[in-house]
Structure 1
Amino acid sequence: MTFTDRRILDLFGIELPIIQAPMAGGTTPEMVAAVSQAGGLGSLACAQYTPQQARDAVGKVKGATSRPFNMNFFCHANPEPDPARAAAWHQALKRYYTEFGLDHSAPPPVSGRAPFDAAFCAVVEEARPVVCSFHFGLPEQSLLERVRRTGARIISSATTIAEARWLEERGCDAIIAMGLEAGGHRGNFLSEDMTTQLGTFALLPQVVDAVRVPVIAAGGIGDARGIRAALVLGASAVQMGTAYLFTPEAGIPAVHREALRRAGRHHTALTNIFTGRPARGILNRAMRELGAISPLAPAFPTAGGSLSPLRGHTEALGLGDFMSLWAGQAAALGRELPAGELTRTLAEEALTPPSVQEP
């Protein structure tokens, strides 16, 4: 058997319709290279880097494989400073500073993620990746045109039908239909209303019907059954993130890895307390006690500063109580395999029809 829908395979020049999701904080150049070398599409999470670090990471990927890979960027706008909100958030955490003997009076570290800008665009122009993907919409038009002139295929995440149409109107070559089950940050950009968010297998066929470009399914796809289901519903490929956090190439701390191993005993939830923007992670103490969605949390991407000392202290104790344990709802399906082997195994299993049970 072979994959009959070749639109994404031909568009990206890959062999397998499996895309490793870009996960800032978890993706490494080694993971990206391994997935691409196996025939899928590895995705470099450039939002975790400075432009020079992104340049260095691209060099590592290209040094390990000549296959196509994806460079991914955030397209948020940094918020205006809000000292009053930041102070209220810091005050809400005071009890934890006291509990662990930390200095609450010290200025909290600055946290953030850099949005796509001219400096990052220059890195793309140098690297000339086969695919360039964006989260939270698209960059402004002049930057987008510069990316397009490199020959890169441009894709972005849609969490609603309206977002999918918006992306197609602006020239995306393919669209990621990101369901509510997905781990990490929601890709929403036209609305902050979480009641508009659909599950993957409700969103996917509606996006397929709404746009003409190929659609990539993402969210809650953890094994070959999910891949097959997505392809049946019209996806040309799938994007999988949490599954790759189980690989030895994942750059996550030991406490996060252990939480993933126990994912079957814990549920996930959307939370804004770690960054200021809704993202799905394994429920932990901070989410339970502060509220998974807190009106006090400063705007993305600044909320993490005041939590940083608590995270560092408790992580050293082997606890994940104050850190973002990003994971999707299919985390319990994860298998600990090297990234390349996982990619090939998932593809082979997806092509193998389920065994027929005798009555």
Structure 2
Amino acid sequence: MERRRFIARGTAGATAAAALAAPNIAGAQGAPRIRWRCPGSFPKSLDTLYGTQEHLAKRIGEMTDGAFQIQVFGPGEIVPALQVMDAVGGGTVECGFTSAYYYLGKDPSLAMATCLPFGLSTKQHWAWLTHGGARQLYAEVYRDQGVVAIPAGNTGSQMGGWFRKEIRSVEDLKGLKFRIAGYGGNALQKLGVVTQQIGGPDIYPALERGVIDGAEWVGPYDDEKLGFNRIAPFYYYPGWWEYSPSVDLMVNARAYEQLPAAYKAILEAACAESWHWMSARYDVLNPTAMRRLIAAGTQLRSFPREVLQASYRASQELFAELGEQNPRFKRLHEQWDRFRTDQVQWARVAEDSLANFLAVATAQR
């Protein structure tokens, strides 16, 4: 009898301990079961960008023991690549995975949330978003679009794109038809470039048919997958217009407000993890992809200093013009620019000096 009571007490104790160890969200009876749809702006062939969209949905499901499920879709499966924010804000879907600068026509300030030409590095961008006041400043911008945006990805430093011909001077840019997103395109227009914003899945056909003379996307790994090297032989760097572009999980504002507080916290945690997951993945994959491209005949080129200087001046002129036209952009840009200036000066002392030394020392080995 005593033995049976001991076993019963032990079994009950073990059950209680297991219940205490289980996560509240996962194990709680009556936890709301939520199913959302999430279209994205990035080709399904890319295990970096679209892969992060999948990773984010997977982590949210794992953190809630399957109670909160997000079904992901590629461009065109629900809405076109460049209409994701419209679908989310209008309530067609609950959330979407996209970049704010695709929608700068609605509000120029949206470009800054993704990136601006000659802007922040990946590390600096995360600091600005999380501790530099950007999320608070941008809440009003996104609210006007009917969404709540949570940073959920970053590609890290990008390349300057693929060209059919060499770029030796600013003169070579005049009349060039080039695919580019964000305000880098507006800056290039000042230098005579004819720019187009084309969704990721449509870039290769446009380049192949000669609709455009060149295109930028992200960097070696993605660009190799999309096949740009098969058409345009010259690969330029740096991607001054996209030093560190951020990707958002955009959530319909009404759907977001209806979430339990715990689910909101899980969204934040999963998005933060995914932001770093993406940038780290690119850092691992890009170097080997670059070697493969060069071995296959890609001609790596740096933009001439003359082109970089002209592009920088054009970008500063553009920011001033946008500020004159739009008080909100002016206010947000002034805050962004102060933060950027401080970060550049600090990085020059603490990081750039060592990075430059290591680049030379490594090359001499």
Q: TM-score under structure 2 normalisation? A: 0.25
User: Higher helix share goes to which structure?
Assistant: 2
Q: TM-score under structure 1 normalisation? A: 0.26
